[in-house]
A and B are shown apart, each in its own frame.
Chain A
Amino acid sequence: MNVMEINIFGELLIIPTDVIAAWVLMIIGVPPVLYWITKKRHWPLIWDYATSTNHRKVGTLYIFFSVLFFFRAGIDALLIRLQLATPENQFWVFQGEKYNEIFTTHGTMMIFFVATPLLIGLMNVAVPLQIGANDLAFPFLNLIGLYLFVTGGTIFFLAFFFNAAPNVGWTAYTPLSTEDFTSGPNNNYYIMGLQVSGLGTIFAAINMIVTILRLRAPGLKLTRMPLFPWATLFTSFLILVAFPVLAIALLLLQFDRFYGATFFLGPQGHPVYWQHLFWIFGHPEVYILALPAFGIFSDIISNFSRKNVFGYTSMVLSLALIGLLGLMVWAHHMFTVGLGPFANTFFAITTMMIAVPTGIKIFNWLFTMRRGVIRMQTPMMFALGFIPTFVMGGVTGVMLASAAADMQYHDTYFVVAHFHYVIIGSTIFGAFAGIYYWYPKITGKMLNDKLGKWHFWLFLIGFHLTFFPQHLAGLNGMPRRVYDYTWEDGVFVYNFISTIGAFLMGGSMLFLIWNIYRAHRKKEENVGGDPWDGRTLEWTVPSPSPEHPFEKMPIIDRRDMLWWAKTQDKPIPVEEHPRAIPISTPTVQPMLIAAALFILSFGFIYHWIWVQVVGGILVLVFFVNRAFKDERIPAYEKEESEDEY
């Protein structure tokens, strides 16, 4: 049974059964959770996190919601794999349009609401502590950014529940994504969800840059920073270039869909202009996902090898170079468009050049480990799994970069395999490594190493089982974004193995959940500030990190200062007159602004003018309210009165 026909008030609603199943699951599943929260008296804790502007708490929420969306988009992936498991398969409802919806949801969600915020969450937790900042420069803005991400994610998430999931792929290529070809609210969800969360990402990037440039501990020159803050800095600059372009692209698409403009279709419009705008955003986005992971791996590999990073300067320069080159390779997604031999050559060469700084990083990681005292614990395992996986993704990347050969690879499963190798290989491995590594800093508890290794091995094996055969399926001509193939196509074996691997990956995630549940089941004692015998500043403060962790501001005169202090058995000197601490007070205002934006977005999605007006007015009202309820008023009044003598 694929659809259910429901008669409400004389109107016939035809609803696919997967949507019904999801609603039923929600209705059965949510009340017990609410009951459990109430019974355990967790509401005050939830309220504390929902209103706190402390960087660790905001970061924890970023990670929490990303992981939630990760499970949602992961289930989509499993459903995709079930449909593709055998030739001429008819699994449940996932054929035709429903298949388009599910791969669009999977891709969009994984990129925008899992990978990006997962890394921003880790930056939030770790970067201020690594550079001796007491908080991010703009704590209020930080909470706004979180709420924009959660609101955008929720808007996108809800589309499926209203049987209106976007269905044109995560790239939303025009003219398919314009009103003429895909009418209805589906792709409006895509526009509004991305617009809202994208703004949040921009705010997060601004916050990171100012924090890194202005709030470092005294003596901690940029050249003494650990590599994760460095990666965060470059990533933030990439966000500043990429996300505004996406915002405008979405705005233009919105004008096409809503107000009768024809930027991307018709006799005057240029569908390829969308592709340019999208990839000017989209390709830097790939490096926005990869660079922070590189930073995390650098810190972890150095820590677990008990050595400083090999080739620090070249590490920083190659980050910069990857970022710079990443801005001028976007048209390698468009080789088959027919931009001409000059453009194709240019973009092929810049793309291949990226392999050079990336190769430098790979060798530096290997040399960091050489002659190190290596500890094989879970974060290090993920870092070690990353290196060969990412190299394989890089090699197929260079293959895809040769424009002539790309005519064959384009839009096949070879591409699918490639980008899963690089994105899962870097971002997801990096995020897992980071979560295991900084979990004690976030909660004061360690995750179990044995379960962590189960998670790692199952994930790694499942990953390669899933995606390696997809190269072969692609080379045998299997196009991406199709829900069906025949026995004669000769790709059954690859797809079947791929499906098995996907379920291994899915299963491995249960070990992570069990691990986290186990860590919090009983009240174990705190693991202390420095459970990994760390080298960088975050391990000098207690776990979980307190508000204003650097009341005694350390003075830094070298890299890996903590390690130096340990080996020399000397205390880190303390600054008497540190700079002012950003003012962070709990606030409900971001929640209100996000709620107003939520209303406004639904007004746009369904073309309800009055809801748009109400939502818009509410946004402005809360904005003005904020102008008069600035959290800094008391502090400034105090300063003012002290000044009047």
Chain B
Amino acid sequence: MSTKAMSQDLFADKRMGFFIYLGVEAIMFSTLFATYIIYTPAPVGPHPSEIFEMKTTVLASIFLLSSSGTIFIAEKGLDKRSTKMIIAGIIFTFLLGATFMYFEMHEFHKFIKEGHLISTSNFLSSYYVLVGLHASHVVFGLGWMIILLIQLKKQPFQLFKEKHKVFIYYWHFVDIIWVFIISIVYAPYLL
């Protein structure tokens, strides 16, 4: 019997638990998608097609979706136990995620400057709650990556691997939610 049995058992527990947690988050997001669909477009305030910008959305999407690819470098590194690949993968992903956040902030900032606030219309309220919750997930993920880099140095590799894997699931999940945001929030009013 392999001595890795303990960490494998506990990792399998954790993976199942985390997948269920992501299911919980998926239900939360679907409730917000429903809210957005119900209230958009609103009878008052700007129409979504007047304020969404193709350029920002496309650039943000390119950066976030490609970060799901770079995280594979880190995952490869985990399997090969190559610290270099892990660090490189995390840093690339971090930079791409941070760039996504730049565009996200740019969009929020622009809306607020133009006077499109939470209280302007129900379309904007549900937009801010939904996209804002997703953005806060990305920010949380960025912080998580910094912590992972420190954990890599400090924690037993098997435990680090487990934590890193869980992060990878999280990051893919955040990406999938973004795909839904593109197709439900932006696409109907941009195309």
Q: Is B168's beta carbon under 8 Å from chain A?
A: no
Q: Is B115's beta carbon under 8 Å from chain A?
A: no
Instruction: Give min CB distance, A628 to chain B, whole Å.
Output: 7
- What is the bound-complex CA distance between A632 and B163, given in angstroms? 12
Closest to A640 in B: B156
Q: Is B51's beta carbon under 8 Å from chain A?
A: no
Q: Which residues of B contact A488 (CB under 8 A)?
A: none
Q: Which residues of B contact A24 (CB under 8 A)?
A: none
Query: Do A255 and B4 form a contact, CB below 8 Å, given A245-B31, A633-B159?
Result: no
Give which listed residue, A137, A206, A269, A628, contacts B24 with CB less than 8 A: A206
Q: Is B80's beta carbon under 8 Å from chain A?
A: no
Instruction: Give min CB distance, B26 to chain A, whole Å.
Output: 8
Q: Is A213's beta carbon under 8 Å from chain B?
A: yes
Q: Is B112's beta carbon under 8 Å from chain A?
A: no
Stretch at the interface among A399-407, A421-429, A575-583: A575-583
Query: Do A628 and B151 form a contact, CB below 8 Å, given A138-B17, A579-B9, A636-B7?
Result: yes
* B122 and A580 within 8 A (CB): no
Q: Is A260's beta carbon under 8 Å from chain B?
A: yes
- What is the bound-complex CA distance between A639 and B159, given in angstroms? 10
Q: Is B35's beta carbon under 8 Å from chain A?
A: yes
* B13 and A639 within 8 A (CB): no
- What is the bound-complex CA distance between A259 and B156, given in angstroms? 45
Give which listed residue, A215, A244, A643, contacts B31 with CB less than 8 A: A244
- What is the bound-complex CA distance between A620 and B144, given in angstroms? 11
Q: Is B38's beta carbon under 8 Å from chain A?
A: yes
Closest to B24 in A: A244
- What is the bound-complex CA distance between A215 and B126, given in angstroms? 41
Q: Which residues of A contact B14 (CB under 8 A)?
A: 138
- What is the bound-complex CA distance between A255 and B132, given in angstroms? 12
Query: Do A628 and B7 form a contact, CB below 8 Å, given A213-B16, A241-B27?
Result: no
- What is the bound-complex CA distance between A91 and B157, given in angstroms? 67
Q: Which residues of A contact B93 (CB under 8 A)?
A: none
Query: Do A263 and B35 form a contact, CB below 8 Å, given A214-B16, A624-B147?
Result: yes
Q: Which residues of B contact A263 (CB under 8 A)?
A: 35, 39, 122, 125-126
Q: Is B32's beta carbon under 8 Å from chain A?
A: yes
Instruction: Give min CB distance, B167 to chain A, whole Å.
Output: 11
Q: Is B12's beta carbon under 8 Å from chain A?
A: yes
- What is the bound-complex CA distance between A580 and B12, given in angstroms? 11
- What is the bound-complex CA distance between A138 and B129, given in angstroms? 31
Interface residues of B in 112-149 (CB under 8 A from A): 117-119, 121-122, 125-126, 129, 143, 147
Stretch at the interface among A246-254, A330-338, A352-360, A498-506: A246-254
Give which listed residue, B8, B43, B163, contacts A267 with CB less than 8 A: B43
Q: Is B42's beta carbon under 8 Å from chain A?
A: yes
* B38 and A268 within 8 A (CB): no
Q: Which residues of A contact B25 (CB under 8 A)?
A: 244
Give which listed residue, A141, A248, A639, contacts B158 with CB less than 8 A: A639
Closest to A138 in B: B17
Q: Is B5's beta carbon under 8 Å from chain A?
A: yes
- What is the bound-complex CA distance between A259 and B147, given in angstroms? 32
* A268 and B43 within 8 A (CB): yes
Q: Is B6's beta carbon under 8 Å from chain A?
A: yes
Instruction: Give min CB distance, A643 to chain B, whole Å.
Output: 5
* A577 and B1 within 8 A (CB): yes
* B10 and A269 within 8 A (CB): no
Instruction: Give min CB distance, B154 to chain A, whole Å.
Output: 7
Query: Do A245 and B20 form a contact, CB below 8 Å, given A262-B125, A263-B125?
Result: no
| Interface residues of B, count at CB 8 A | 48
Query: Do A636 and B159 form a contact, CB below 8 Å, given A214-B12, A259-B119, A262-B119?
Result: yes
- What is the bound-complex CA distance between A632 and B122, given in angstroms? 46
- What is the bound-complex CA distance between A624 and B140, given in angstroms? 11
Query: Do A269 and B122 form a contact, CB below 8 Å, given A210-B17, A244-B27, A627-B151?
Result: yes
Interface residues of B in 31-45 (CB under 8 A from A): 31-32, 35, 38-39, 42-44
* B10 and A583 within 8 A (CB): yes
Instruction: Give min CB distance, A588 to chain B, whole Å.
Output: 20
Q: Which residues of A contact B12 (CB under 8 A)?
A: 214
Q: Is A642's beta carbon under 8 Å from chain B?
A: yes
Q: Is B155's beta carbon under 8 Å from chain A?
A: yes
Query: Do A251 and B3 form a contact, CB below 8 Å, given A579-B9, A580-B9, A624-B147?
Result: no
Query: Do A252 and B42 form a contact, CB below 8 Å, given A244-B24, A627-B147?
Result: no
Closest to A627 in B: B147
Instruction: Give min CB distance, A342 to chain B, whole Å.
Output: 19
- What is the bound-complex CA distance between A260 and B119, given in angstroms? 5
Give which listed residue, A248, A251, A624, A637, contacts B156 with CB less than 8 A: A637
* B28 and A247 within 8 A (CB): yes
Q: Is B69's beta carbon under 8 Å from chain A?
A: no
* A632 and B10 within 8 A (CB): yes
Q: Is B21's beta carbon under 8 Å from chain A?
A: yes
Give which listed residue, B13, B121, B157, contacts A137 with CB less than 8 A: B13
Q: Is B46's beta carbon under 8 Å from chain A?
A: no
Q: Which residues of B contact A247 (CB under 8 A)?
A: 28
Give which listed residue, B9, B32, B42, B118, contacts A268 with CB less than 8 A: B42
Task: Show 14 A/B contacts (Cβ-Cβ < 8 Å), sorted by A.
Answer: A210-B13, A248-B28, A252-B35, A260-B117, A261-B125, A273-B38, A577-B1, A579-B5, A628-B147, A630-B159, A633-B156, A636-B159, A637-B156, A639-B156
A interface residues, Cβ below 8 angstroms from B: 137-138, 141, 202, 206-207, 209-210, 213-215, 240-241, 243-245, 247-249, 251-252, 255, 259-263, 267-270, 273, 277, 577, 579-580, 582-583, 620, 624, 627-628, 630, 632-633, 635-637, 639-640, 642-643
